[in-house]
A and B are shown apart, each in its own frame.
Chain A
């Protein structure tokens, strides 16, 4: 039982990270129906950026968020202008298809760029607190994981408050519901999309920082994308609030699967669940758009 509790709590810790991983993807998909399957590759790049900052400038990874997030906001801004703006005119289906294909190209570009800069070797940021654990009634919880959970909760609540309480956030939600109606209300849809897209990229920076604290390599891009997609389908496409719950759910399912069948099949449980939900409840478990 103790063994299960240990695995399960680890599962929840990684689950919070999965929620964070899916956040940017969910925002971009919710607002403009762009499916950026390269999201995992962005997180991987952010992890390398953190690694660099830590290695050369000796900046603490958690402080790196202040560095990495704005950098990715700018990258998102540029990529939107260069690649994604021209897709705005398409119908919904075409938009999803073309954005999927372009981001598929990015999924080839980024990992190879990373291999070019940093080689394919495993890297990890080793801070003073790496490996330190909190002993809670015999269950060992690493501080890094707990930091990740705290960060995930803070970021998701902050984004939720931003979207519901501020004027700009309300404009983003209006655009996500109906582009034309939002235009008629005097909202500059192009501008909102540009900012929301860049925010989606910036949100890839935060899980990137946490990823850098564990061992990572350019090959994790696909795994991260895959986690993000599973969380998205659990939470319902475009839902922000559901993302944290979806992530925790995925973490719990994986942990249970690992306990019953074994660690090598860890990824499979989420994927099977994903396919089943896609087939029987494609609108997601909660089934509402943000």
Chain B
């Protein structure tokens, strides 16, 4: 009960932020945190819960952004365009992603990596230019609607992942992660559940892409297809805690704030630091910051918060 009130309070606070301040810097930071949360949850469904390490999520992010921008400029309302963008990324997944499940373990990782590189090179060749916002869109461009969209989509994503992972499906996904053969042996249809995880994951990645395209006024078409959008979610999820609902949120907050801090004071070294932190976390904290917090909590004699 206490937790529900806390979450509700936090949501209300976030909802009223644009009423209190319209400082673009604050709004931008929260929007970025939302985009990264959405992306890392998308990755987390597949990588954290189901154990399928994808290195190709930028493809689905990029397709979401591409379709959203196209439809939005055609005059379709943003929320509809967002839905269409994510559906098209689901469509792409059903064409190229589901066959990829024939690949197991590391073959899946490098297979998806190859797919995202194909997408990135192809887009660079087909659309070499910059996607501009036309004059009439720029005139009343404001961060407030973007903020609300980011807030709403982010909340929906987290609720969706929470509901899914606290259902029978979630248990099936974890069983596949722990031991795919054993899961099959006790009657879990691993292909079916992997497809469910992949569908939702790509759908969510499509939302993230649409949001990016709504937020950034003009960008090179290939930017959302950049491999960074595949790699950052992996890093964020592992920093926060893979296979938890709260982990990617904590990871995104740390990632965005630290990046902001480092980018000003350290410049290029910031990615270097993230790389080193990532390696250290893989080696010493496989459960991420959430795991560390729970361990500290327990050693203090309190009860486990059980946020997973």
Contacts and interface: CB of A to CB of B under 8 A. Distances in A.
A, B co-complexed: yes
B103 A282 contact: yes
Given A112-B269, A116-B268, A116-B272, A278 B107 contact: yes
B278 A105 contact: yes
Contacts of A267: 117, 121
B272 A112 contact: yes
A222 B56 CA distance: 13
Contacts of B102: 279
Given A101-B282, A102-B282, A274-B114, A96 B268 contact: no
**Chain B facing A: main interface SS:** helix
A108 B231 contact: yes
- Interface size for chain B: under 10, 10 to 19, 20 to 34, or 35 or more residues? 35 or more
A272 B110 contact: no
Most buried by A among B107, B109, B122, B279: B279
Contacts of A275: 100, 111, 114-115, 118
B118 A37 contact: no
A226 interface: yes
Contacts of A37: 110, 113
A278 B99 CA distance: 11
B36 interface: no
Contacts, number: 103
Nearest to A264: B125
A107 B276 CA distance: 10
A108 B121 contact: no
Contacts of B145: none
A2 B205 CA distance: 47
A231 to B, nearest CB: 12
A100 B109 contact: yes
B54 to A, nearest CB: 12
Interface in B188-245: 227, 231, 234-235, 238
B282 A98 contact: yes
Given A83-B283, A106-B279, A271-B117, A116 B269 contact: yes
A35 B115 contact: no
A194 interface: no
Given A106-B275, A267-B117, A278-B111, A112 B268 contact: yes
A273 to B, nearest CB: 10
Contacts of A230: 114
A282 B282 contact: no
A254 to B, nearest CB: 13
B114 A108 contact: no
A279 B103 contact: yes
A97 interface: yes
Contacts of A274: 111, 114
B272 A268 contact: no
Interface in A78-119: 83, 86, 93, 96-98, 100-102, 104-109, 112-113, 115-116
Nearest to A223: B117
Nearest to A116: B268
Contact of B105 (A86, A93, A264, A279): A93
B227 A102 contact: no
B307 interface: no
B148 interface: no
A112 B273 CA distance: 10
Nearest to A233: B110
A243 interface: no
A35 B274 contact: no
Contacts of B295: none
The 4 nearest A-B residue pairs measured at CB: A108-B275, A105-B279, A109-B275, A112-B272
5 contacts: A97-B105, A105-B278, A222-B227, A272-B118, A282-B103
Interface of A: 35, 37, 83, 86, 93, 96-98, 100-102, 104-109, 112-113, 115-116, 222, 226, 229-230, 264-265, 267-268, 271-272, 274-275, 278-279, 282
